[in-house]
Amino acid sequence: MAMHAQIKAFLEDESGAATVDWVVGTAAAVGLGVAAVDTVESGVNTLAQNISDAIASKAVSNGDSEDGSGGDSG
């Protein structure tokens, strides 16, 4: 087979087209995922910090009443 015929046969062969489609599709999905994470990251970090601050500012009771009676009424 002549070189010209081999090149023509190579260019007309579509057996790897599905693989290329999957690679492009996967790359697009990964890119969208990265963009989505980048978009919501600062909001999620702010929300997490607000929750942490709210929890840290709460007083924790150990069950004792202020008068020393132990807090049990019965």
Model confidence pLDDT, tens digit, residues 6-62: 888 888 887 777 888 899 999 999 999 999 999 999 999 999 999 999 999 988 888
Which DSSP category does 11 fall into? H
Q: What tokens were used for 3?
A: 């070189």
pLDDT of residue 40: 94
**Confidence band (pLDDT; 50, 70, 90) for 68?**
low
Measured CA distances, 27 to 19, 32, 64 (Å): 12, 9, 59
Phi, psi torsion values for 65, nearest 5 degrees: -85, 170
The answer to whether 32 and 24 have CB atoms below 8 angstroms apart is no
pLDDT at 7: 87
CA torsion, ordered 52, 56, 60, 66, to nearest 10 deg: -150
Q: Give residue 70's pLDDT band: very low, low, confident or very high (50, 70, 90).
A: low
Reported residue count of the chain is 74
64 pLDDT higher than 80:
no
Greatest Cα pair distance, the chain, in angstroms, is: 103
